[in-house]
Structure 1
């Protein structure tokens, strides 16, 4: 099957009529590249394909919650009138019985009041095919069953969960049963059980037939409730993922506006007050230092002169005190000389000596004193003019350094406070984050509630089935004596055993092909060539085991995020190859979380051979100029989708704008 064209009219962000021509030129150039930034319409393109082919059967793949009618109503472009409606038209080719036929499926709808009116048509080779239109659900089951559509239409960012062992086992089991038609075998077995039940009911007692009918009704009701619970869980999971994305965007917007600094505003203000107090204290200490003897350090010469003068005045005062003492002493000494009868000449000589000595001292004592400093003042002056000067200067240096350090910290704090956004500028962003957090918590709580309800519904199904089988077995045991019923039961049981063996043998036969396909894919995509040497799949549980070169088991949990995504790609690739379906491969966000080497491997080893037609929906950060150059030999045509805010619509232009001139020339 080859997609030739898809036309979108008033669908999602595409206002008006927009066309994508998708026909590949040849088998060697299978890639159609569509580039768009987030929100411009990539995922809308993928949804349009799923909606066109599967309608309500694709409901689980859509975004949002609510009914199918709600989805159709919300899918109409917001700026277009609801009465104008929307339309998705897909043209594709398929070879049937050696002849190629052209199909065109058109799904259009409009909304008025509380009603949504949908029109679906299938045109084959230019003629409306009413039979195929009415039986399209059966035809699409043969062409591309919705259960295996995720093998060909998938979001590259959301397939990593397939690397989980439980999820991978589930997708393999679903894929094998759908691909090999084993779901038909299971339906045959169920039909045989129903046939057995009816035969036994016809031959059993009235009470047993009523009990069996009641048990069957309970089982059907339990299955219906389980289906509803699973649908609600799927919707709740999508809503939770969407609310998580909204919360992430709100937090990013707040951080971009300086929200992190705003949260520290109070702490910064308190720190500024503490620094202001410390600065004032430091300035007081510096003023106190300056108010002491510090000003005298400005006149060291004068200070030394004062010190010298103070020393001289101390000497003068000492001389004056000594003179009064010497006069009395000299008088007593001369008296003693006379008392001892000393010669008068000697007495006169001594007296003259004493007089001369006193005259010399009187010269010193007669000098004037101006300072008359106290002892403590003289000590202070001596200290300032001596070693105390260095101590004072050292104290001043320490005080100044401390003051400069505090002022630098204060300036840095002022710069931080200046960068804090105003409360009125971040208040809406803070409110958005709070609302997003509340919404996300509610969505997560609702998801948990739905999961618990779904698990309870599954348990109820198991209990109802157990009761039903118990009643059935009781009927069987009571009716075994009847020859016709016995023969039917024996043959039916034999057929069911044969069908079970057939299913087992078919699985064993085909699962080896899937193992080899998956190993080929992993070895082609993984950067580490010796990481996986073999792959085994349990034919009963469909559990996957990866084995390294030394035969040790490699758990998917040991793989990096990029390797888990490649594991999921290899899984889908293997199932798609095993299916034998010639369906196009459509990948949204193909390189989301991969590093450059893994991106290169996907570009070189997967995209060119993923199918006869490969449609890649990429952002500008995924398929850049380097990756585009590797894909270019395999690209038939490319488009770029841009959102025009004035027209409130996305626009489609030829060429891949995110690879520069080379991309535009490739159009």
Structure 2
């Protein structure tokens, strides 16, 4: 526990003290009492006030409100000595087995209507920033500001302090301070102030907040209803799709069974009739083409067989005879040209020998080549006729093939047409198939309607969800302090209740220290 002793006080431009006035408060064993004697209004009370506000600041006055404190300081500042005033208190602090000399200093500067205060704690001539910041806690632990008026008071107030009506309350408050109950009351008052300020803020924004909250609740209700509707439509769509699948499967099975009973032939009757008519037309056309092919004038030559072969042989023999005759004539002309040319260059005997030699060679060539008079006309080349005959034969074969194909198709079409059942035989089948087809169409339409409803519900749900997210975000951003304050208010109420219980139990446990009210 620290111990402090006043050593001096310095007041400057404060109350009746102009400029800097210093008062030594140090004592010794031979000088244990300091008496300050002065006329009324000379500044005795101002010195006590200077000690209180120098040590505690705003907490040194009774109310503790900052405005009262500033008014008091401004009232005590001298206006004839400038805008600066100060109080310095010298203290000797015994703490932890050591001693320090410190100076607590407060300075005020007036700037128009504002009052600027500077506080510092000087240790060994240098300001100690840590000590300055912790000063309120330090001095409050040694001498709480609530009890300072019991230690620093004017002699004129002794009678008031000893008043039997006031003394019990003073002692009660002193006891509560020593027990720490004063802090409980201060904390309770602070909590009430917080509750009042929060109530005022909430009162100002309650209408807007309630409007936003109602809109959010409405959107949440819409989102919930649309989510339920979406789930119902989705479930109904799945059921409708199942019904559609079953209807389609039933129709497919029935159609397969009906086709085995002749439905396929009935469904294809028109196509079969059309194919039969087309096959009949192609058969007639093939017959006409065959007749036309058979009417070719050169075609009878194909029926001559061996006679036509002999004709080709005779034509070939006539050709060779003509070629041999032409070749013999050509050799004779050649021999005449050679003999004419040699008659001018060789002797007669030699020329005659050459003529005899050429004649023997020509006779030999003529004998080796059979020559006869041609029997056939020169324009009857069988090669030309053979080309026409080949084309005529090919045309006949194609016409016969086309006719066979058309007749086979005609026979098949007539057979299939004969298998087509009459319409009255399929009345019941067609009726039931129509019912099943109608069931499939109805199920498909129901599924389409549900799909459209699902799309619409999904779009509405997404839209409402987007608005809901935006409203929640806006409410969290614009009114997030409100929810915090609501929780804080609730916590403050619980804290005040707990403090009240704690205070009662604390006083009950300190019964022997209770203050008696029978002072004499």
- Kindly name which structure, 1 or 2, has the bigger radius of gyration based on alpha carbons: 2
The structure with the greater share of residues assigned to helix is 2
TM-score of the aligned structures, taking structure 1 as reference length: 0.30
TM-score of the aligned structures, taking structure 2 as reference length: 0.38
Higher relative contact order (CA 8 A, sep 6+): 1
